[in-house]
Amino acid sequence: MKPFTKVTAIAAPLLRDNVDTDAIIPSREMRSVSKNGLADGLFSGWRYTSIGSRDPQPGFVLNNPVYAGAEILVSGANFGCGSSREHAVWALAEYGFRAVVAPSFNPIFLGNCVANGVVPAMLDRAWIEAIVHSLENDAEPMLTVDLEAQRVVLPNGPNWRFEIDRDAREMLLAGRDAIAQTLQLAEEIERARARDMAARPWIYSTITRS
């Protein structure tokens, strides 16, 4: 997983509340269990003119050349609600999004973001609206997400501190998944196991049954 410290990039504004996982990646677009091949189906119900089509829907933010190559998505409350499909985060990541900035996230979706190296940055709604206004009116809709400082920064100076769980932040900064994060405590785990083995040796004995 690629470590995330700070990203300055084009940001795409999609200020809609309750963007669910079926909107992010409809079930018809999930043709395998792989993380690959999902970007083309990202937001397909909004991005294309009809089901099965790949004709761009005029007016949808990702079809606007101004936001081409966006690595940051700015959206509304309860982002990632609906089903627990991890494909939603896989599709966002494969498209190129490194961070999603929103007032709140579905808890399962938030965990899936952290597990796949996408920063879920939570900001107050008023701040989100100020950012979206800037992105929609600036010739270069740039934004910085600084995970080390926990700040979202506009090019002209305004910046806001965002909230993120401490363990999630550590995992994203280091580029570690949950297993790798646990293995950071391998020596401590082994010491605890040794103490327990000394105190309760019968738990660890091999029992042969006839």
Tens digit of each residue's pLDDT (9 = 90 or more) over 168-177? 999 999 987 6
Report the pLDDT value the prediction gives residue 127, as an integer from 0 to 100.
Answer: 96
| Residue 129: pLDDT over 50 | yes
Pairing of strands 151-153, 142-146: antiparallel
User: CA angle 113-117-120, nearest 5°?
Assistant: 45
How far, in Å, CA of 4 to CA of 7, rounded? Answer: 8
The secondary structure of the chain, three-state, reads CCCCCEEEEEEEEECCCCCEHHHHCCHHHCCCCCCCCCHHHCCHHHHECCCCCCCECCCCHHHCHHHCCCCEEEECCCECECCCCCHHHHHHHHHCCCEEEECCECHHHHHHHHHCCCEEEECCHHHHHHHHHHHHHCCCCEEEEECCCCEEECCCCCEEECECCHHHHHHHHHCCCHHHHHHCCHHHHHHHHHHHHHHCHHHHCCCCCC
Dihedral sign, Cα of residue 105, residue 19, residue 181, residue 1: negative
The token duo for 14 is 């999609």
Residue 117's alpha-carbon distances to 33, 39, 112, 120, 210, in angstroms, are 18, 16, 9, 9, 49
Report the pLDDT value the prediction gives residue 206, as an integer from 0 to 100.
Answer: 64
Q: What is the pTM of this model?
A: 0.85
| Residue 184: pLDDT over 70 | no
Report the pLDDT value the prediction gives residue 205, as an integer from 0 to 100.
Answer: 75
| Residue 148: pLDDT over 60 | yes
Residue 27's alpha-carbon distances to 11, 31, 33, 43, 85, in angstroms, are 26, 8, 12, 11, 9
| Residue 208: pLDDT over 60 | no
Percent with pLDDT over 90 in the chain: 76
